[in-house]
Amino acid sequence: MKRPAPLVVVGDSLLDQDVSGHAERLAPDAPVPVVADAEHRTRPGGAALAACLAAATGREITFVTALGDDEASHTVRNLLGHRVRLVEVPLDAPLSRKTRLMADGRPLLRLDEGDGRAAGPSAEAEQALADAGAVLVADYGRGTADVLREALTARATRIPVVWDPHPAGSPPVPGTRLATPAAAEARHFAGKPGPATRPEDHRDVLRQASADARTLLEKWGIASVAVTLGEHGALLSRGGPPLLVPAPWRASGDCCGAGDSFAVAVAGRLADGDLVELAVREAVEAAARFVSGGGAHAVLRDAGPAEADGTSGDARALVRRVRERGGTVVAAGGCFDLLHAGHVQLLQAARRAGDCLVVCVNSDASVRRRKGGGRPVVPAEDRVRVLLALDCVDAVAVFDEDTPEGLLDDLRPDIWAKGGDYALTDLPETALVESWGGQVVLLPYLDGRSSTRLAERAAGRPGAPTRR
């Protein structure tokens, strides 16, 4: 698959800490929950989280942020590690630290410490922006975007700039390609009194978001606004009738960082040269996967150097969660070049065999080696998108080898499902799957269906009929 374009992330770092445990009783001296078995977890927050999420996709990231000589700043530097190229501007006080006290997955209390702000630009930061091909501004109201505003304004006339605003921060610079406020943030910046509409009032939510987006387009002098609507998806406005992109499913889980996930995905797509409409559609799906996949901690735990086999953090996180609750992991594989009824029946049957289904897909290079120079007809990126649209598919992972054995050894599914047309074939994966106690099963397959036959018929060449 094509390597994603580099991206410069500009914004304010925070240090996020979660203290999570179980609450089964109230304290004897006050009517407050007692949190027991507490687990302490620390991760980069704010723009630092956005930069790490972008790096987790295999993208080369330059991160421009304000850090100082305090404990929280040093912790963030260590957490960033080798994920990004770090470019610093000075910080005038200790870095902001946010600590959430959680009980059974629900926040009880948040403690905020540190009020450091960016103290000025740096020559290295200005040069990073001058060299940038695309920029994401993750503004958390701590001044990093403000001290680089002149450089950002100059670049917005030449390259895609995505701006994720914050009520405590400044508006996007003129010429910004896309701003990504949440509904409440859009209402704040539009100068409208009163709270945002309740999420359950779907029609009112859309009406309000559309009006606020039109106001911001004119007020800010930017190209487009995508108002994120949580479980309702996002609404994109470019001045005409808005484009509503519904969420592909109602994601449940910790939504902290979902807005960063959306902004990262849309900025990456624009960096790769995609249209804004396509970028927003992909970003809505990415945000849903982020929440369903366990949120920021899961993504950062799974993230590492770019993997040659294309294993997605989503697939790894899914497998881990299913195993933790004692479920059965099912995997199936193939090229899936032209998805047909035989594929769908196989995947539906595979999903019913367990508690989740991961589909292992041959990369474009792998398909070419197996099928010849004219294949694949559909590139891997689109094949993955089509598969993920099926309700029976929970995750997709792409592998570049001729067989999926390396990927299987990584995921270690309980069941490896193949179509019944392999009944008389010795599968090379069988010994591997059985080595960790897994099982290879054959599932019913609709006879006569074939991507090769579909490709021949579409090309106008005589071929075998699609059914016997």
Task: Read off the DSSP letter of residue 173.
Answer: P
Q: Tell me which of 164, 212, 260, 394 is the catalytic residue.
A: 260
Task: Read off the DSSP letter of residue 230.
Answer: G
SS3 34: strand
- Active site (annotated) includes residue 260: yes
- Per DSSP, which regions of 219-378 are E strands? 225-228, 234-237, 243-245, 329-334, 356-362
Report yes or no: 286 and 261 within 8 Å, Cβ to Cβ: yes
Other CB atoms within 10 Å distance of the CB of residue 119: 15
CA atoms within 13 A on the CB side of 358: 30
Report yes or no: 328 and 355 within 8 Å, Cβ to Cβ: yes
3-state secondary structure 49-92: HHHHHHHHCCCCEEEEEEECCCHHHHHHHHHHCCCCEEEEEEEC
The torsion angles phi and psi of 460, rounded to 5 degrees, stand at 85, 15
Task: Read off the DSSP letter of residue 197.
Answer: P
Other CB atoms within 10 Å distance of the CB of residue 6: 16
Q: What is the distance between the alpha carbons of residues 343 and 451, in angstroms, rounded to a whole number?
A: 9
Report yes or no: 13 and 43 within 8 Å, Cβ to Cβ: no
Q: What is the distance between the alpha carbons of residues 173 and 145, in angstroms, rounded to a whole number?
A: 10
Q: Which residues are catalytic?
A: 260
